[in-house]
Structure 1
């Protein structure tokens, strides 16, 4: 694997682990493991015990102090491969992943009270905006997106605020399109999110203000100032914000934790934009009869009388063994089926009521 690809995968894995892995892993440690573990050469998405022995053997050759760092990076990579890239991993790794997901959700739950305070203050500010119709700020828009659209990271939210073309198909089915790099693919992809009428109008009005571009770092600073102005506890890192949004979605909508992770991470889904073309059929032509209603008049009536073989059975039910079974007709199996069915019924009847 080239160094460029290793750097690309390292960045993708690191970005994912920052939001969904409870332990801290550095990009240098992830790069070290990927550089010595040739996963890209595998033809199948399967990590078996021999693969783990190979990389663990290399980790064992380094000083003991760094072994823990690289083993933790290895666990993070395995978590990424199984959780987002859908690789098959050994059973004991699956148990570790389940424990990690549990720890992650426990970490989310710790911010429940804080998330509720933030949402309550956001609701008050939204009501105030409806009364005054003031200027929409980046911090308010970030809260609106995180609480109303999806529990996204500040990096994704800042990208939305910087791109007036994020809303697509405005007239027929307005939705939010987030462009991102696909996991395991060096190409841009898009994920679509539902927009309520209220969220749609907020975004449209914000874009109409022609706001300056804002980075995720500046957005975090704005949100920190907003918390301070409203007398709320601070979020010590920008990665805390999507966690507050996620626990809110869990409490408000009673969504399963796995589904919340899907919502929070656009890279887990890909939506292809299908252009909707207007129908060429006129409204008056929808129910118009465009076929010949007397097509059957041209069919000649058959003069040949069909003789069903099972009728002979009914006439000679006392001597069924003497009646020859008709052959199967590949073009019409119904006569033979009726014959067999009738014969079977008559056999049963003759056993029960032999006098008949």
Structure 2
């Protein structure tokens, strides 16, 4: 297949995903199965993910993305095609789809080992892609057993699993991703609309994604009243039984240990220097000047996926944009397509 043929196939897939997101009865069985397998994969979150990918997979976006690269580096002969093993996370619906897309868009073959938490959605979508463009059938494989016969590895997991990945896959060209979290920097000038958008950055997918804001930086003496008011439009999240179990548990643990908390009855704020907060909890840390804060954030760049801010810090994004990355916004800042072309 030529690059334009692969682009056309994914454009058609994007249209299909749009239909699924807008008319969920089309994929009723798949949605129900994914929900049953993982209690965090609510129908709303699955449909949110499908719609995001539908919006991303347009001809304009795919052409703009691929225009950054030298097409002469794409495989021209069958012996140039690489087999790329992808070990996927399962924290949010279709979290590994960008890696899957990148491998196929570069003309390579993908061998996917799915997370036990997300076993349904990607095989379903891969089947739709193959129906659109049957030549992809020889380029897509899924395995539940030991990964074998591959040339490159892309693996996503925790800091602990990353050590395992590095041990077993270190001899192959690889991308190994570890824990990352996103932060927001507030200075007290945020509008109600911006803070409501920040609530989306915090609560979409129950805060389980690396692009979810799990920590706030606030100035000394910051008044959280406007912040909590803006969070209130997500109050219904407490009715999810898995979420409320985490909220109750974390609140009890912190109170038993006499940690001071700010609480609005569905989320907890805890002053903490860490980045990876538990579900239903957002950490916060105070700063005395924006210049010192910029140095602090830079020092911890390996822990941070997104920076939501309007203070003019490097790589900041606007409130409400964490869950809408472009195709060329790479996890951990590692250009997956460049890796696939150059290795």
TM class, shorter-length: under 0.3
How high is the TM-score relative to the length of structure 1? 0.24
Larger helix percent: 1
Q: TM-score if structure 2 supplies the norm length?
A: 0.25
Higher RCO, Cα 8 Å, sep 6+: 2
Higher strand share: 2
